[in-house]
Chain A
Amino acid sequence: MTPTDRLYDTLKSAGLDFYVSVPCKLLGDLIDRLAEDKSIVYTPVSREEEGLGLACGAHLAGRRPAIVMQNSGFGNSVNAVLSLLNYYKVPVVFVVSHRGSPGEPIEAQRMMGGAIADLLRVTEVACVEVPGQSELEHVLPAIALARREGRSIALLLPFSYWAAQ
């Protein structure tokens, strides 16, 4: 199975049924799969903060929302994470390509790439690093725990995850 297939299956197994996305090359195949999936709600959004608004609305209606994005987009999300998701206890799953991780060809991505772990920590978003497919086994229990706590969680997928077939 490709990295995208395994990730897609894991997200579906977690019961996530509402997805918004902001584009990333690494996540392109996943986004295509989501766009074709008639059993979920999916839409692209203009930027990450807007997407968290939609995710909150989905949660209020009883759905289980996720946002698919680059880690750089977390910088666009911080106010919404704190004053919307955390304040109202809205659990969102962030599916995040970790740009700036080893293998990154674009120098500018290293700036947010180096800050993402600290940003998640200070905003109290749980984090599961997924450097390869074998680490996906930790994802389902982590999502279940975060949901029980009313807490959001980020799956950080570095270049190494996407390199291994």
Chain B
Amino acid sequence: MRRYEAIREVMKVVTDQPLVCNIGHPSQELFQLADRPQNFYMLGSMGLASSIAHGLALSQPRKVVVIDGDAAVTMNLGGFATIGHTRPRNLVQIVIDNSANGSTGFQPSFTADRLRINAVGRAAGIDHVEVVTDVAAIAPTVSAALASEEGPHLIVIRTETGMPEGVKVIPLGPIEIKERFMRSIGQ
């Protein structure tokens, strides 16, 4: 399974929840697979996807989904400490772990060696941590987290490195992304 398939499975069960997506290829793949106004695509500030979703989760009651990457979240491991401190019940943090910095040329990331994002999350105080390696398990796992009264949830999806041909740069500017996102959640 590659990230593209993983995102496709995630989006089978995401309905109207606000969603923050990591910069670069993940956002481009998400745009192609399932563009919707509730998607906040990051165009900069690599590493902050989970923090933006965390701020959203603390600010309103809806479930918030974030699609982050292993290398991006490694830039912001301190973010786990804060999530473990506030423990927002409405945050579903998905980290797609392809063991690479894909958008910059597929350099290996630290999870290709010994880093385990699920262990970091658990050590930071996140109680609901799942690791998914089977494509068929993604939709049920994400669906259960979205339906759960408890949280936060951290779901690490292990994938192969790489992406399909023909995925394009997102044709939306930052203000368009923000304004349609805010309208979609009633702001």
Q: Which residues of A contact B (CB under 8 A)?
A: 18, 41, 43-47, 49-63, 65, 79-80, 82-84, 87-90
Residues on B with beta carbons closer than 8 Å to the beta carbon of A44: 82, 85
B58 touches A60 (CB 8 A): no
Sample (23) of A-B pairs whose CB atoms are under 8 Å apart: A18-B58, A18-B59, A43-B85, A46-B78, A47-B78, A49-B48, A50-B51, A50-B82, A51-B51, A53-B55, A53-B79, A54-B54, A54-B55, A56-B48, A56-B52, A56-B55, A61-B55, A62-B59, A80-B45, A80-B48, A82-B44, A84-B52, A88-B177
Q: A53-B45, A54-B51, A61-B187 are in contact. Are A41 and B78 (CB under 8 A)?
A: no
Q: A50-B76, A62-B187, A82-B44 are in contact. Are A57 and B82 (CB under 8 A)?
A: no
Residues on B with beta carbons closer than 8 Å to the beta carbon of A51: 51
- Cα A121 to Cα B156 with chains together (Å): 40
- Cα A110 to Cα B55 with chains together (Å): 32
- B126 contacts chain A at the CB level, 8 A cutoff: no
- Cα A80 to Cα B175 with chains together (Å): 16
| Secondary structure class of chain B's binding surface, majority of residues | helix
Q: Residue A61 contacts which of B42, B43, B48, B56 (CB distance < 8 angstroms)?
A: B56
Q: A45-B82, A46-B78 are in contact. Are A87 and B55 (CB under 8 A)?
A: no
Q: A84-B42, A87-B43 are in contact. List 12 more A-B contacts (CB 8 A).
A: A43-B82, A49-B47, A52-B45, A52-B48, A54-B51, A58-B56, A60-B40, A60-B52, A60-B56, A80-B48, A83-B44, A84-B52
- Cα A49 to Cα B45 with chains together (Å): 9
Q: Which of B28-36, B99-107, B142-150, B178-186 makes up part of the contact surface?
A: B178-186
Query: 10 shortest A-B CB distances, which residue pairs?
Result: A57-B55, A83-B44, A53-B51, A46-B78, A53-B48, A54-B55, A61-B59, A57-B56, A84-B45, A62-B187
- B86 contacts chain A at the CB level, 8 A cutoff: yes
Q: Residue A53 contacts which of B52, B86, B178 (CB distance < 8 angstroms)?
A: B52
Count, chain B residues at interface, CB 8 A: 37
Q: Which residues of B contact A (CB under 8 A)?
A: 18, 20, 40, 42-45, 47-60, 64, 76, 78-79, 81-82, 85-86, 174-175, 177-178, 181-182, 185, 187
Residues on B with beta carbons closer than 8 Å to the beta carbon of A41: 58-59
Q: From residue B47, how far is it (CB to closest CB) to chain A in Å?
A: 8
Q: A46-B78, A58-B59, A60-B187 are in contact. Are A88 and B54 (CB under 8 A)?
A: no
